């Protein structure tokens, strides 16, 4: 364990995220002076962060102490930063993160690709600076000096921000919205997954009740959003294609009957796992106007598929993709995860080679994230961290593969506890960009989200964001559907203060 002691509250989360990025395999505890008495393990740094103020300046000093097994200090490293006399909370936060990053980088001899940036939307900074009229040179200098980000990540961020700005130029920002519909069922739950998903075999008897509740939520949500422009629709999960083609037809026909479809420019359904895809389902999706689907293998190695609990083969993935093409889908996405258990450079190279033969229209490259609610935590305890390999070289291979397929990076986000402190990047060919993906990441348009475990957000013209969520439990969702609807009514119909 690594202990971090601070004397100023309000920054625990930011400090924890940054220290954890340097020490992903260790437990990190952040606590206020006087609340606990914890010490780092032997040979682990113990951080002491002090806020010292005088009349002229606020000083922030960080001290890293490394203790031996007897609790004796072996070496120390101290740094401080001086802020303005009345610093804002963001200035304090960034100041603390800068000295934490500099100290840990010096101590470990290791730099992080995104520097001290710990948020999930690093491209928002580049986007904001572009909107201010800053040049590429200005943005590069700012991200280097303020966050110590690497040149390659800065370039990626600027490239994506520019592409996002162009893609979203026709979207209705203030009077528009997007619709998300969640189907919380899967054939099985994958090793790494913590999403709201329930094995369909255990819930088959309640799917009809779930769809009935969802239809009620659709009807009332359409009334709530009446008068606003619907730009994109996204049906995700879970795995939406765990529903039968009759159930999919029932759901989509309901959606299109209650919402104004005249401005919808993108309709995505995550077809997802190959073991849930059939000709009947794809034909139904095509006939109902779905413009974009996903066929997501995560890997093209059969041994890994078995290891992570996906009950399909690589050959089934190829067959499902070919079937989607045969039926006429011209915008097919594929998802990959880098850093899966047991996979190194050779396995990733094989996966990318197989993907290149299929030539998807977009490719979303995820870096494995360790999520508390997943079975992966238990798997690591049993097999050790050594079974997970750093994905840096795999990421390089994925970038080269995307370029070879003429796919351009168009959106990016990060998650907690990502392997190698990297990112998830969506690549697509011109005209096949996932607009909903950008909207949900950049938070520049309201999204009304339906179904168990979904989260709606209202984005006001001044950029202020408010959220409300639906319960994750399917039974509770069905039982309390009117409560879920009332939450949305209060969120979207409440007057802006």
Structure confidence at residue 460 (pLDDT): 93
8 Å CB contact between 255 and 294: no
Assess whether pLDDT exceeds 70 at residue 53. no
Identical fold at 1-110 and 171-487? no
Residue 92 pLDDT more than 90?
Answer: no
pLDDT (0 to 100) of residue 175:
92
Q: What is the pLDDT of residue 43?
A: 77
pLDDT-derived band of residue 447, with 50, 70 and 90 as boundaries?
very high
Burial track 222-250 (b if 16+ CB lie within 10 A, e otherwise): bebbeebbbbbbbbbbbbbbbbebebbbb
Average pLDDT of span 475-482: 97
Predicted local distance difference test score (pLDDT) of residue 383? 67
List strand residue ranges (DSSP E) for 320-470, in order.
332-338, 362-367, 408-413, 424-428, 446-450, 455-459, 465-469
Q: Return the number of other C-beta atoms located less than 10 Å from residue 262's C-beta.
A: 7
For 171-487, give the CATH class.
alpha beta
Q: Which two tokens stand for residue 287?
A: 């006939």
Q: How confident is the model at residue 47 (pLDDT cuts 50, 70, 90)?
A: confident
Positive or negative: CA dihedral 187, 274, 408, 168? negative
pLDDT score recorded for residue 81? 79
Q: Is 487 helix (H, G, I), strand (E, B) or coil?
A: helix
Report d(CA 115, CA 150) in Å as an integer: 7
Q: What is the mean pLDDT of residues 38-65?
A: 72
pLDDT tens figures, 280-296: 999 999 999 999 999 99
Give dist(CA 433, CA 234) in Å, integer.
14
Q: How far apart are CA 77 and CA 287, in angstroms?
A: 65
Give the model's pLDDT for residue 349. Answer: 95
Cα gap 418→20, rounded to integer Å: 10
The residue whose two tokens read 């606003």 is 228
**pLDDT at residue number 333:** 97
The pLDDT, as a whole number, for residue 67 is 61
In contact, 47 and 102? CB cutoff 8 Å: no
For position 315, what pLDDT does the model report? Answer: 97
Give the pLDDT confidence score for residue 266 in this predicted structure. 98
Q: How far apart are CA 306 and CA 346, in angstroms?
A: 18
What is the per-residue pLDDT for 371?
A: 64
Cβ pair 15, 100 in contact under 8 A: yes
Q: Which of 307, 301, 311 is nearest to 379 (CA)?
A: 307
Residue pair 470/482 in contact (Cβ under 8 Å)? The answer is no
Give me the chain's average pLDDT, please. 88
Strand pairing category for 58-67 and 73-83:
antiparallel
The region of weakest confidence among 20-24, 327-331, 395-399 is 20-24
Q: Among the listed ranges 54-68, 136-150, 279-293, which one has the minimum average pLDDT value?
A: 54-68
Class of the CATH domain delimited by 1-110? alpha beta
pLDDT over 70, % of the chain:
88
Q: What is residue 497's predicted lDDT score, i.e. its pLDDT?
A: 46
- Biggest alpha carbon distance in the chain? 73
3-state secondary structure of 72: coil
220-238 per-position pLDDT tens digit: 999 999 999 999 999 998 8
> What is the pLDDT at residue 101?
92
- pLDDT value at residue 71: 59
Residue 387 to residues 230, 381, 397, 415, Cα–Cα distance (Å) = 45, 11, 20, 21
* Most confident range, picked from 67-71, 284-288, 337-341: 284-288
Q: Is the pLDDT of residue 339 over 80?
A: yes
Token code pair at residue 314: 């690589």
Cα-only R_g, the chain:
24
Q: Give the pLDDT confidence score for residue 202 in this predicted structure.
A: 76
Contacts for 32 with CB less than 8 Å, ≥ 6 apart: 5, 6, 7, 9
Q: What is the pLDDT of residues 95-142, one digit of tens each?
A: 889 989 998 998 889 999 999 998 888 898 999 999 999 999 999 999
Q: 238 preceded by cis ω (within 30°)?
A: yes
pLDDT value at residue 26: 87
CB-based contacts of 366: which residues, under 8 Å, 6+ apart? Answer: 335, 336, 337, 338, 424
Give, as one character, the DSSP assignment of residue 387. Answer: G
Give the pairing of strands 198-199 and 465-469.
Answer: unpaired
Domain ranges of the chain: 1-110, 112-161, 171-487
């Amino acid at each position: 364990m690594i202990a971090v002691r601070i004397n100023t509250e309000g920054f625990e989360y930011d400090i924890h995220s940054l220290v954890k990025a340097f020490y992903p395999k260790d437990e990190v505890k952040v606590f206020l002076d006087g609340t606990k008495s914890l010490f780092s393990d032997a040979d682990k740094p113990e951080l002491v962060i002090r806020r010292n103020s005088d009349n002229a300046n606020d000083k922030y000093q960080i001290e890293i102490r490394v203790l031996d097994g007897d609790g004796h200090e072996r070496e120390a490293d101290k740094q401080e930063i001086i802020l303005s006399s009345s610093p804002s909370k963001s200035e304090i936060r960034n100041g603390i993160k800068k000295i934490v990053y500099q100290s840990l980088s010096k101590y470990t001899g290791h730099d992080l690709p995104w520097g001290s940036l710990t948020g999930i939307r690093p491209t928002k900074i580049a986007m904001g600076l572009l909107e201010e009229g800053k040049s590429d040179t200005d943005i590069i200098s700012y991200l280097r000096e303020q966050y110590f980000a690497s040149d390659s990540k800065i370039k990626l961020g600027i490239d994506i921000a520019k592409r996002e700005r162009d893609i979203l130029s026709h979207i209705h920002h203030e009077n528009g919205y997007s619709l998300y519909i969640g189907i919380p069922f899967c054939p099985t739950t994958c090793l790494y997954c913590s999403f709201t998903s329930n094995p369909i075999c255990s819930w088959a008897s309640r799917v009809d009740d779930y769809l009935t509740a969802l239809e009620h939520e659709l009807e009332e949500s359409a009334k709530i959003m009446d008068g606003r422009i619907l730009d994109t629709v996204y049906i995700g999960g879970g795995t939406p294609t765990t529903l039968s083609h009759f159930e999919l037809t029932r759901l989509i026909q309901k959606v299109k009957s209650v919402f104004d479809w005249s401005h919808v420019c993108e309709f995505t359904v995550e077809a997802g796992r190959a073991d849930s895809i059939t000709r009947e389902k794809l034909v139904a999706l095509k006939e109902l106007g779905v413009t974009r689907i996903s066929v997501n293998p995560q890997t093209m190695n059969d041994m890994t598929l078995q290891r992570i609990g996906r009950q399909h083969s690589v050959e089934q993935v190829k067959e499902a993709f070919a079937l989607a093409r045969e039926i006429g889908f011209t915008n097919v996405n594929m998802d990959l995860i880098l850093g899966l258990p047991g996979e190194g450079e050779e396995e990733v190279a094989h996966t990318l080679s197989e993907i290149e033969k299929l030539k998807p229209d977009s490719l979303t490259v995820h870096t494995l994230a360790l999520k508390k609610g997943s079975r992966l935590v238990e798997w690591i305890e049993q097999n050790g961290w050594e079974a997970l390999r750093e994905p840096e070289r795999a990421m390089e291979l994925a970038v080269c593969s995307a370029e070879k397929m003429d796919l351009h990076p168009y959106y990016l986000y990060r998650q907690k506890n990502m392997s190698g402190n990297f990112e998830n990047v969506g690549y697509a060919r011109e005209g096949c960009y996932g607009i909903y993906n950008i909207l949900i990441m950049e938070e520049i348009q309201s999204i009304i989200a339906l179904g168990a475990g979904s989260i709606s957000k209202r984005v006001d013209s001044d950029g202020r964001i408010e959220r409300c969520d639906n319960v994750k439990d399917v039974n509770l969702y069905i039982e309390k559907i009117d409560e879920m609807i009332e939450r949305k009514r209060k969120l979207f119909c409440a007057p802006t203060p």
